[in-house]
């Protein structure tokens, strides 16, 4: 008959194993091993009355409660019911101190299921003792049917503890069961199930209970349903189903339809995995105090199922969060990952060293100050001076900076100090680091003076004409006009000039006039205050130079035209001859095509005849000087077919943009056209709807407003592209930039342990300016003077160096000079030390340490001097070959891998080796995971969840491990389960769930049903809140080492909104998890709750005392690294199980054992208890029991056999307790 545990009866979390705790578990498991307790006994826990919800709020309320109790008697239960009525029933079994059991004796309550003269539809088997985790009290919900049930205690010697329960009556059941079916499986995009579909049929009957369920596939006839039905035949399917209750009522037939499709290929690629080490590092790369290793795994196909790591030589364990390593010394973290198809990535590793932190910082910060501002000729600051203070501390860091102006009290420095008062000033400054070290007080002195009166006087300006003159004062060939302006007040801002009545233009350099004739140059100047000098002028005449030319002209020729890939000219080639003569001028140019004779050159020569050609050319000047004959050669070939494709054309807008994408001040439009056939002939553009004009250079648009530039291109075949356009906006620029650039310098290179740079150091300077942009960067090496910085500065001279640096922006603002200091030393002598090399073998191992199916050998080499050049390996005596990746060995048998490494200096390490064995794999895991679900939340009296319900799904697999968990909410389709599912939609809900292990086994689909209702209005009742203290207690009721306070709040109307608690009169803080109190002494925890309507409960409290644990239970603990049994090494790590006792202490192979079998059963019981408490794995349990069986412990009878019973099968409960207590 289906049974329902109360929500509080779920699995408990992991706890520490203590010798006392092991005794109780070992006793039960040892008795099971020798037949004193049925192996099928089901341990179930129940909350204490104060902590369990009332039966009225249970999901299916029980109609009656039947209670059995036990005491010290082995002849009868202390109390037991004899009659009941049919229907839903809660069975309570309590064997506790409260019911009279003071000896700690366990009892069971077991219902008979195999005798046909008794009802067999209730399968209850509960074992309880006063000292188990639940204090000996358990509950279970069942449905009783009319008839007689027999119950009894299953422990041998308790045979008279038996009785009969007579069940009569009950309301007549005329309602058939409710039955439903859910189809699950991996679905494709069309909703078809890939490979197979699983149909799970669920039936419930609130009356007499469900008797049978039947189903039929594709109309092939009904048959009994006992487990979810897997349909793997490809095609469309229909499954019909029905259920019958114990009163004979049969439900209507329901059905589900679905399609099974072929599966996709299986994922055979392991995950990608990497690890990174983080933490504070010293100069040698060691981690100071601790290092954190973060492992990352990805799998693009089936997804990552698990990640594991092993620290140093420890065993692999699940990776759930970054691993923090604090132990000082060198460490290696190995890691691997498995995907949901069971593919395991090769083991990789990272190595690092953790060192002690440096001693406390006792050095004060270094602090400096710089004064900036507009200075006059005497170095005084005009109008104001700005003092910038800079502090640095390489130890604990700078905490604060303070300054004092002209003897005033020191105040915090948060920004540069601007001083405007006209007078002499002194600014003192100091800095404090985070360790409290204060730097000596330093000071800067300066003077601020009033600015000069407003300038109203224009500049003084003059001009001078220079050049070679003839006797009449005329300038021969050219004249140079130099204009000079001065302004003693605000300074000269600009000079302009105009030549021969033309427009004024900026004067930036002397003006050279070469045109023959009379000339007049006008000029004027403007100062920084806007005063403009009156226009002045200078006049002069330029005449021709005297002839005396004996130099022939300079002459050159260029061949142009459309060329193919071989450099040949397609269709035609144009030869352009250019001649110049600086003396008398060119008189004539001639050319000779293919030896036909020289003829006058008057225009570019177009050659269209196909073939190879030579054009000779020469020139003669007006003095008769003839240039030497020169020549060009080229080939003309036939053109390709006609080009009918227009050019490709595009445009890009560039310029300084603001945050809105507008161009500040101006925008430049660059048009680009290409034509792969005849070539681009012309590009044209039109601005803001104007007419098209030739495009010869980027178009600069300065007018403020929105603009559109249209553009098109035409190729040499006459094809014109469609008109395209770009749109943009030009806005006014921001105000002038007055802030200097930010600048920094960094020194890089190979450093020794003292931080000195070996061989050379590279100084990289970086400057940024958010305003006008950086114009220039300069540096000064060792005081040699500032020079332009264009690339990182490499300093190779040995010795101490200082590099100063500064930057100027495009607005002329100069950053204060900063500097970096460093030392360059000679490199170390040649490397004569071979590399360090090691190898690690990884793979899936069996209990004997052999590698299953394959082993992967990873060779690692390091060389701190010249570096590793190569690694080589040899397998099983074969020749050495290059090692480029981990070596995977799959051949079954014993293997030896030799390895060596060579560094870049040619040093080769000695040959080393690793040995291992590869064996066949164990049979595949064919058992699916165990999976369960629990629904939690605030419930009303009808059991509905108020506001929301949370569904928590739990899965476990002792074989290959759980790969994935999925759930399906209200038939929406299965999705991956990663966290508890919160359902807040009002209405009835069904959550189906299933799990898949790493071997691909899928658990049958199960489900939970529940109802979510809206929060009731006008809730004025506060929540009900209570607190329970738990933990290990001594005889006085005090809690040993720590106590855990669990606060529970319920609200049947609006639901609980929050819970808060206060420890020992402290402030109330949110309660999110049980509160663990470890401080020794008396404590009071107060608590209260508030519901979603704002009603707060009265403050409740619990008071308790925490005491220290008595002395170490195993003061002379056996701390060998592995568990050794009778001299045989089990290879299981000998870990601490709690209270200072290791696994070796608990096994006690040196005790006086009555027989070898008794010792093996003892080891089996201890190992089983350690597995149950999470100390070891099931695999390690097998390694322990096999080693115990192979040992000779107990084969020689002890000198005093009375110290322990001869055989566990003859032990009484009292003898077994005493025996195990004496040994632990």
pLDDT in tens, 1002-1048: 999 999 999 999 877 778 899 999 999 999 888 788 999 899 999 99
Q: What tokens does 459 get?
A: 């500049």
Residue 1138 clears pLDDT 90, i.e. is over it: no
Nearest of 216, 259, 222 to residue 239 by alpha carbon? 216
Q: Specify the CATH number of the domain 37-168.
A: 2.60.40.420
Q: How many CA atoms lie within 13 A of 66 on its CB side?
A: 22
Residue 24 clears pLDDT 70, i.e. is over it: no
User: What's residue 1164's pLDDT?
Assistant: 86
1165-1182 confidence digits (pLDDT tens): 888 888 888 889 977 888
User: What's residue 878's pLDDT?
Assistant: 93
User: What's residue 546's pLDDT?
Assistant: 74
Rounded to 5°, the CA angle 286-287-293 comes to 120
pLDDT cut 90: percent of the chain above it: 63
Query: What dihedral do alpha carbons 294, 295, 299, 305 form, nearest 10°?
Result: -110
CATH architecture of 1024-1107: Sandwich (2.60)
User: What's residue 25's pLDDT?
Assistant: 36
For range 830-843, the mean pLDDT = 92
DSSP code per residue over 579-643 = EE-SSS-EEEEEEEETTS--EE--SPEEE-SSEEEEEEEEEEETT--BPPPEEEEEEEEPPPSPP
CA distances from 812 to 150, 248, 529 (A): 103, 100, 18
User: What's residue 87's pLDDT?
Assistant: 84
For range 296-322, the mean pLDDT = 93
Residue 62 clears pLDDT 80, i.e. is over it: no
User: What's residue 1112's pLDDT?
Assistant: 61
| CA pair distance 438, 84, nearest whole angstrom | 86
Rg of the chain over Cα atoms, rounded to whole angstroms, equals 48
773-816 confidence digits (pLDDT tens): 898 999 999 999 999 999 999 999 999 999 999 999 988 999 99
Residue 300 clears pLDDT 80, i.e. is over it: yes
Q: Which CATH superfamily is domain 648-731 in?
A: Immunoglobulins (2.60.40.10)
Bridge-based pairing state of the strands 1006-1013 and 987-997: antiparallel
What residues does each domain of the chain span?
37-168, 178-261, 271-345, 367-449, 460-535, 554-637, 648-731, 742-825, 930-1013, 1024-1107, 1122-1223
Q: Specify the CATH number of the domain 367-449.
A: 2.60.40.10
325-373 confidence digits (pLDDT tens): 999 999 999 999 999 888 999 999 999 999 988 788 899 999 999 999 9
Residue 1117 clears pLDDT 90, i.e. is over it: no
Nearest of 251, 256, 170, 244 to residue 209 by alpha carbon? 244
99-128 confidence digits (pLDDT tens): 999 888 888 999 999 888 889 989 999 999
Most confident listed range (59-68, 512-521, 935-944):
512-521
User: What's residue 9's pLDDT?
Assistant: 35
| CA pair distance 872, 869, nearest whole angstrom | 10
User: What's residue 961's pLDDT?
Assistant: 82
Give 1144's pLDDT tier (boundaries 50, 70, 90): confident
Percent of residues in the chain assigned helix, strand, coil, to nearest 5: 5, 45, 45
Residue 47 clears pLDDT 80, i.e. is over it: no
User: What's residue 58's pLDDT?
Assistant: 31
User: What's residue 1197's pLDDT?
Assistant: 60
pLDDT greater at residue 681 or residue 821: 821
Question: Is the four-CA dihedral 432, 438, 439, 445 of positive or negative sign?
Answer: positive
User: What's residue 1068's pLDDT?
Assistant: 92
For range 961-986, the mean pLDDT = 92
For range 1147-1154, the mean pLDDT = 81
Instruction: Please give the CATH topology (third level) of the domain spanning 271-345.
Output: Immunoglobulin-like (2.60.40)
Q: Specify the CATH number of the domain 554-637.
A: 2.60.40.10
Question: Is the four-CA dihedral 685, 690, 693, 698 of positive or negative sign?
Answer: negative
User: Which residues fall within 8 angstroms of residue 1062, CB to CB, at 6 or more apart?
Assistant: 1068, 1069, 1085, 1086, 1087
486-503 confidence digits (pLDDT tens): 998 888 989 999 999 999
Q: What distance, in Å, lies between the first and last C-alpha atoms of the chain?
A: 41
| CA pair distance 667, 1066, nearest whole angstrom | 67
| CA pair distance 400, 409, nearest whole angstrom | 16
User: What's residue 1139's pLDDT?
Assistant: 62
For range 121-146, the mean pLDDT = 90
**Position of tokens 């690339």?**
791
For range 1124-1134, the mean pLDDT = 89
The kind and range of the H/E element at 23 are: helix 19-33
Cβ atoms within 10 Å, residue 741: 26
User: What's residue 452's pLDDT?
Assistant: 78
Decide whether 37-168 matches 648-731 in CATH topology: yes
Give 417's pLDDT tier (boundaries 50, 70, 90): very high
CATH 2.60.40.10 fits 178-261, yes or no: yes
Q: Specify the CATH number of the domain 460-535.
A: 2.60.40
610-641 confidence digits (pLDDT tens): 999 999 999 999 889 999 999 999 999 988 77
Residue 43 clears pLDDT 80, i.e. is over it: no
pLDDT greater at residue 888 or residue 947: 888
pLDDT greater at residue 1209 or residue 947: 947
Cβ atoms within 10 Å, residue 1177: 15
Mean pLDDT of the chain: 87
| CA pair distance 605, 636, nearest whole angstrom | 13
For range 232-249, the mean pLDDT = 92
Q: Which CATH superfamily is domain 742-825 in?
A: Immunoglobulins (2.60.40.10)
User: What's residue 170's pLDDT?
Assistant: 62
| CA pair distance 616, 594, nearest whole angstrom | 8
523-535 confidence digits (pLDDT tens): 999 998 899 999 9
| CA pair distance 555, 552, nearest whole angstrom | 9
User: What's residue 479's pLDDT?
Assistant: 95
CATH architecture of 930-1013: Sandwich (2.60)
1064-1106 confidence digits (pLDDT tens): 989 899 999 999 999 999 999 999 999 888 889 999 999 999 9
Residue 1211 clears pLDDT 50, i.e. is over it: no
């Amino acid at each position: 008959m289906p049974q329902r545990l109360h929500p509080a009866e779920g699995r408990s979390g992991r706890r520490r194993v203590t010798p006392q705790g092991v005794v109780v578990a070992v006793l039960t498991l040892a008795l099971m091993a020798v037949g004193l307790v049925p192996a099928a006994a089901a341990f179930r826990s129940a909350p204490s009355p104060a902590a369990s919800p009332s039966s009225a709020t249970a999901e299916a309320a029980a109609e009656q409660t039947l209670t059995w109790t036990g005491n010290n008697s082995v002849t009868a239960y202390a109390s037991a019911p004899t009659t009941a009525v049919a229907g839903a029933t809660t069975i309570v079994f309590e064997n506790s101190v409260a019911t009279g059991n003071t000896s700690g004796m366990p009892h069971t309550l077991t219902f008979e299921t195999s005798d046909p003269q008794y009802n067999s539809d209730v399968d209850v088997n509960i074992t309880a003792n006063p000292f188990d985790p639940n204090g000996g009290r358990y509950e279970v919900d069942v449905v009783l049917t009319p008839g007689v049930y027999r119950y009894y205690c299953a422990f041998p010697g308790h045979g008279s503890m038996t009785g009969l329960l007579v069940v009569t009556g009950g309301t007549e059941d005329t309602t058939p069961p409710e039955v439903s079916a859910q189809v699950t499986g991996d679905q494709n995009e069309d909703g078809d199930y890939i490979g197979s579909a699983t149909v799970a049929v669920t039936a419930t009957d609130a009356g007499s209970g469900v008797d049978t369920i039947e189903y039929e596939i594709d109309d092939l006839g009904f048959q009994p349903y006992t487990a979810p039905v897997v349909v793997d035949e490809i095609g469309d399917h229909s499954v019909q189903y029905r259920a019958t209750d114990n009163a004979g009522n049969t439900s209507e037939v329901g059905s589900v339809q679905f399609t099974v499709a072929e599966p996709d290929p299986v994922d055979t690629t392991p995950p990608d995995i990497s690890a990174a080490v983080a933490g504070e590092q010293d100069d040698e790369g060691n981690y100071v105090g601790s290092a954190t290793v973060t492992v990352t795994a990805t799998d693009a196909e089936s997804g990552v199922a698990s990640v594991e790591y092993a620290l140093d030589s420890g065993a692999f364990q699940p990776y759930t969060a970054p691993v923090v390593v604090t132990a000082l010394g060198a460490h290696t973290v190995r890691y691997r990952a498995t995907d949901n198809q069971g593919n395991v990535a090769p083991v990789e590793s990272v190595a690092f060293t953790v060192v002690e932190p440096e001693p406390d910082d006792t050095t004060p910060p270094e602090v400096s100050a710089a004064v900036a501002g507009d200075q006059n000729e005497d170095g005084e600051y005009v109008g104001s001076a700005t003092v910038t203070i800079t502090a640095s501390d390489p130890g604990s860091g700078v905490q604060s900076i303070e300054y004092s102006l002209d003897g005033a009290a020191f105040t915090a420095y948060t920004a540069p100090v601007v001083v405007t008062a006209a007078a002499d000033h002194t600014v003192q400054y100091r800095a404090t680091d985070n360790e409290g070290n204060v730097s000596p007080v330093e000071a800067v002195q300066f003077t601020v003076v009033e600015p000069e009166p407003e300038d109203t006087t224009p500049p003084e300006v003059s001009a001078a004409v220079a050049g070679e003159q003839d006797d009449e004062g005329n300038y021969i060939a050219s004249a140079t006009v130099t204009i000079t302006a001065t302004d003693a007040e605000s300074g000269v801002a600009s000079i302009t000039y105009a030549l021969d009545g033309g427009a004024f233009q900026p004067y930036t350099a002397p003006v050279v006039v070469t045109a023959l004739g009379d000339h007049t140059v006008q000029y004027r100047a403007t100062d920084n205050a806007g005063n403009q000098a009156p226009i002045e002028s200078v006049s002069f005449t330029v005449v021709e130079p005297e002839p005396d030319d004996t130099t022939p002209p300079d002459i050159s020729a260029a061949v142009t035209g459309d060329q193919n890939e071989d450099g040949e000219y397609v269709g035609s080639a144009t030869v352009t001859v250019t001649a110049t003569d600086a003396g008398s001028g060119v008189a004539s140019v001639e050319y000779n095509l293919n030896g036909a004779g020289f003829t006058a050159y008057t225009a570019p020569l177009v050659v269209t005849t196909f073939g190879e050609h030579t054009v000779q050319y020469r020139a003669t000047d007006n003095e008769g000087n003839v240039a030497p004959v020169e020549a060009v050669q080229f080939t003309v070939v036939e053109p390709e077919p006609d080009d009918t494709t227009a050019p490709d054309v595009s445009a890009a807008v560039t310029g300084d943009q603001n945050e809105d994408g507008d161009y500040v001040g101006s925008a430049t439009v660059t048009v680009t056209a290409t034509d792969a056939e005849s070539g681009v002939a012309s590009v044209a553009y039109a601005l803001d709807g104007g007419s098209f004009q030739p495009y010869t250079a980027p178009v600069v648009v300065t007018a403020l407003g929105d603009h559109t530039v249209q553009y098109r291109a035409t190729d040499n075949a006459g094809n014109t592209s469609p008109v395209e356009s770009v749109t943009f906006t030009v806005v006014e620029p921001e105000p002038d930039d007055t802030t200097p650039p930010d600048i920094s310098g960094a020194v890089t290179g190979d450093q020794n342990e003292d931080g000195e740079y070996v061989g050379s150091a590279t100084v990289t300077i970086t400057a940024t300016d958010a305003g006008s942009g950086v114009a220039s960067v300069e540096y000064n090496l060792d005081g040699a003077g500032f020079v332009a910085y264009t690339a990182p500065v490499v300093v190779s001279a040995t010795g101490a160096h200082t590099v100063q640096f500064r930057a100027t922006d495009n607005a002329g603002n100069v950053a204060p000079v900063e500097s970096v200091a460093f030392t360059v030393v000679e490199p170390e002598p040649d490397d004569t030390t071979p590399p360090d090399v090691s190898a690690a073998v990884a793979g899936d191992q069996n209990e004997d340490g052999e590698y299953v199916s394959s082993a992967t050998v990873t060779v690692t080499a390091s060389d701190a001097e010249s570096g590793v050049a190569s690694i080589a390996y040899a397998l099983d005596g074969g020749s050495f070959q290059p090692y480029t990746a981990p070596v995977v060995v799959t051949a079954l048998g014993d293997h030896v891998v030799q390895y060596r490494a060579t560094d870049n200096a040619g040093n080769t390490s000695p040959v080393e080796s690793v040995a291992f064995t590869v064996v066949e794999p164990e049979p595949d895991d064919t058992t699916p995971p165990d999976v369960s679900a629990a629904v939690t939340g605030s419930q009303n009296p009808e059991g509905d969840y108020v506001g929301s319900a949370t569904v928590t799904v739990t899965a476990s697999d002792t074989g290959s491990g759980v790969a994935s968990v999925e759930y399906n909410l209200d038939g929406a389709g299965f999705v991956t389960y990663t966290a508890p599912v919160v359902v807040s939609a009002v209405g009835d809900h069904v959550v189906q769930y299933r799990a898949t292990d790493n071997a691909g086994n899928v658990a049958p689909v199960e489900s939970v049903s529940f109802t979510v209702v809206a929060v009731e209005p006008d809730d004025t009742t506060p929540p009900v809140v209570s607190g329970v203290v738990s933990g290990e207690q001594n005889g006085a009721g005090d809690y040993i080492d720590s106590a855990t306070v669990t606060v529970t709040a319920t609200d049947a109307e609006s639901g609980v909104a929050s819970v808060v608690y206060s420890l020992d009169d402290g402030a109330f803080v949110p309660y999110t998890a049980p509160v663990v109190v470890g401080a020794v002494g008396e404590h009071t925890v107060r608590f209260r709750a508030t519901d979603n309507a704002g009603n707060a409960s009265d403050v409740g409290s619990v008071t308790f005392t925490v005491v220290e644990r008595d002395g170490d239970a195993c003061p002379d603990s056996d701390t060998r690294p592995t568990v050794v049994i009778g001299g045989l090494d089990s290879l299981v790590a000998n870990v601490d199980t709690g209270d200072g006792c290791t696994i070796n202490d608990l096994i006690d192979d040196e005790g006086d054992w009555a027989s070898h079998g008794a010792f093996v059963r003892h080891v089996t019981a201890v190992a089983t208890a350690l597995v149950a408490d999470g100390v070891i794995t099931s695999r390690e349990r097998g390694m322990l029991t096999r080693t115990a069986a192979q040992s000779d412990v107990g084969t020689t009878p002890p000198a005093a056999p009375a110290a322990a019973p001869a055989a566990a099968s003859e032990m009484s409960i009292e003898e077994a307790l005493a025996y195990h207590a004496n040994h632990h």
